[in-house]
Amino acid sequence: MIYERPLTQHIHINRQPLNLKEYEAKGGYAAVRKAVKEMTPQEVQKAVQDSNLKGRGGAGFNTGIKWSFVPMGSDAPHPKYLICNADEMEPGTFKDRLLLEGNPHQLLEGMILAAYAIQADISYVFLRWAYKKAAALIKQSIAEAYAAGYLGQNILNSGWSLDMHLHTGVGRYMCGEETALLNALEGKRATPRAKPPFPQVSGLFGKPSIVNNVETLCCIPHIINNGADWFKKLSFTEDAGTKLYGVSGKVKRPGVWELPMGTTMRELLEEHAGGMRNGLMMRGVLPGGASTDFLTPAHLDTRLDYQSVAIAGSRLGTGTMIVMDDATCPVGFVHNLQHFFAQESCGWCTPCREGLPWVEKILLSLEHGEGTQADIDMLQMHTQLLGPGNTFCALAPGAMEPLQSALKYFMEDFERHAHEKGCPYVHEAVASSEW
């Protein structure tokens, strides 16, 4: 069965993305025309809310409802800001890159619609530095959109004006957390902010702001063109739309595919990714990036939507999964993740700043044969100490998700490291933090 894939229909690997004229010829910017001519901002908000689009950046909050907290009307503070979160740094995540490089005008159209819905004056694409090709394309596309009158003063004679800028970052995973991103845009260290006040009310430079993920924004033109019901019907389950699912690790065909929301993990791994490479078995999967709990082969029939993955004990997160095969050491795997999180901790709060390096060291000592049963207990304790509610932002609890589930599913591996005084797996070269 062939399913619709609105977000990637015009994306062809190895071909240049559509320029503005070509994009218009395929129906591009029709949604902007429709919205600014026929719809009020509130109607755009309502359409998105009714579509049940949930944020694709990881947290999965209803996008239309998120927008509805922005003050509207003549006494609302200005300028208001609309920011596209294109920081994509969650290890194992590579879906936004496809949308950015494959169809930049689709993203711009989504941003213009979102900005119209909240009556924003200024918009930013916050792009991670590594996406050089995307940076050039976005810059070019913004210039084209200005020239065509979709950006700038008095857009399509509506009386509404919007400016758009590209901001490229200078590293750090934390820039992807939405309040830390606002600090980075203000020229500060990317540490998160206390909420409330929420960014919708007091965000960038203290003004009302919305931060949305690339994939979230790319859904908007299609919702405006085709309606909320159409969007809901794209999905197999309650959570609406399609989803960009990715698979990396030792599968036959790693990649990223746009599929109906709620596609099963089995279909994704076996049909699209082609199953495991010869001679290997799957032991575990991080279903939505580095900061999600492991699922196991027992969960293969789980539907990949927000609710079903939560019931299975993990999170859909970014929808890009990392497969752990049976020749890869779970302790080494988790150590690599904790090394990343320890390094990327912004240092703002104590449990995360002090706890993560501690966790990383314990895992490394287990790998080196210096760990004991007491160390495993210590790891267990840290999953509580760094868990939800004890830290300022979601980085540390996110880091604990793969650790706590590894301790649950792969405890025998941890114990073997302690009892056999070393790693029972073959390592082809030195581990990541021996430098």
Partner 1 sequence: MVAEPHIQTTAKSFLTQQEKDAINHEVSLLPYKKAAVIEALKIVQQHRRWVSDDAVAAIAAYLDMSTAEVDSVATFYNLIFRKPVGRHIILLCDSISCYVMGYQKLYEAIQHELKIKFGETTKDKKFTLLPNACLGCCDHAPALMIDEDLYRDIEAEDVRNILETYT
Ligand X SMILES: Cc1cc2nc3c(=O)[nH]c(=O)nc-3n(C[C@H](O)[C@H](O)[C@H](O)COP(=O)(O)O)c2cc1C
Q: Is 31 in the site for ligand SF4 (CB under 6 A)?
A: no
CB of 393 to ligand X, least distance (A): 5
340 belongs to the binding site for ligand SF4 (CB under 6 A): no
Considering only the stretches 286-294, 377-385, 391-399, 422-430, report the one whose residues sit in contact with ligand SF4 under the rule CB under 6 A. Answer: 391-399
Pairing of strands 255-260, 242-248: antiparallel
Structure tokens at 212: 């949305």
By CB under 8 A, is residue 278 in contact with partner 1? no
Q: Which stretch binds partner 1 (CB under 8 A): 38-46, 335-343, 383-391, 404-412?
A: 335-343
What's the closest the beta carbon of residue 97 comes to partner 1, in angstroms? 5
Measured from the CB of residue 344, what is the shortest distance to ligand SF4 in angstroms?
7
Contacts with partner 1 by CB under 8 A: the residue count is 60
* Token code pair at residue 356: 């993560």
Nearer to partner 1, 253 or 421 (CB): 253
Question: Does residue number 391 form part of the binding site for ligand SF4 (CB under 6 A)?
Answer: yes
Token pair listed for 132: 């050089």
| Of positions 61, 69, 129, 205, contacts ligand X by CB under 6 A | 61
Task: Count other Cβ atoms within 10 Å, centred on residue 386.
Answer: 26
Give the max Cα distance, the chain.
Answer: 74
* Distance between CA atoms of residues 190 and 192, nearest Å: 7
Q: Using CB under 8 A, which of the segments 22-30, 122-130, 301-309, 384-392 binds partner 1?
A: 122-130
**Residue 213 binds: one of partner 1, ligand X, ligand SF4, none (C-beta under 5 to 8 A by kind):** ligand X
Nearest distance, CB of residue 275 and ligand SF4, angstroms: 37
Does 131 participate in binding partner 1 (rule CB under 8 A)? yes
344-363: contacts with ligand SF4 (CB under 6 A): 345-349, 352-353
Q: At 38, list the tokens.
A: 């026929």
d(CA 24, CA 423): 57
Give the nearer residue to ligand X in terms of CB position, either 58 or 241: 58
**Residue 54 and residue 66 in contact, taking contact as beta carbons nearer than 8 Å:** no
User: Using CA atoms, how far apart are residues 27 and 22, in angstroms rounded to an integer?
Assistant: 9
Q: What are phi and psi of 67, to 5 degrees?
A: -65, -30
Which of 119, 209, 212, 248 lies at the binding interface for partner 1 (CB under 8 A)?
A: 248
User: Residues 6 or more apart from 433 whose CB is under 8 A from it?
Assistant: 335, 339, 360, 364
Cβ-contact 363, 379 below 8 angstroms: yes
Pick one of ligand X, ligand SF4, partner 1, none as the site partner of residue 396 (Cβ within 5 to 8 A by kind). ligand SF4
Stretch near ligand X under the rule CB under 6 A, chosen from 85-93, 223-231, 278-286, 409-417: 85-93
224, 90, 286, 312 alpha-carbon torsion, rounded to 10°: -50
Confirm or reject binding of residue 172 to partner 1 (CB under 8 A): yes
Among 119, 320, 383, 404, binds partner 1 (CB under 8 A): 320
- Rounded Cα gap, residues 203 and 395, in angstroms: 20
Site string for ligand X, 195-234 (x = CB under 6 A): ----------------xxx--x------------------
DSSP β-bridge partners for residue 84: 125, 212
- Provide the angle, in degrees to the nearest 10, between the axes of the packed helices 214-226 and 104-118: 80
Order across the sheet with 282-286: list the strands: 255-260, 242-248, 320-325, 282-286
Rounded Cα distance, 203 and 123, in Å:
13
The tokens describing 258, both together, are 């746009």
Identify the bridge partners of residue 256 per DSSP, sorted by sequence position.
246
Q: Which stretch binds ligand SF4 (CB under 6 A): 3-11, 136-144, 249-257, 387-395?
A: 387-395
Residues that bind ligand SF4 (CB under 6 A): 174, 192, 345-349, 352-353, 391-393, 395-396
Residues that bind partner 1 (CB under 8 A): 88-94, 96-97, 128-132, 165, 169-173, 184-190, 205, 246-250, 254-256, 286, 290, 320, 322-325, 328, 332-333, 336-337, 339-340, 343-344, 346, 427-432, 435
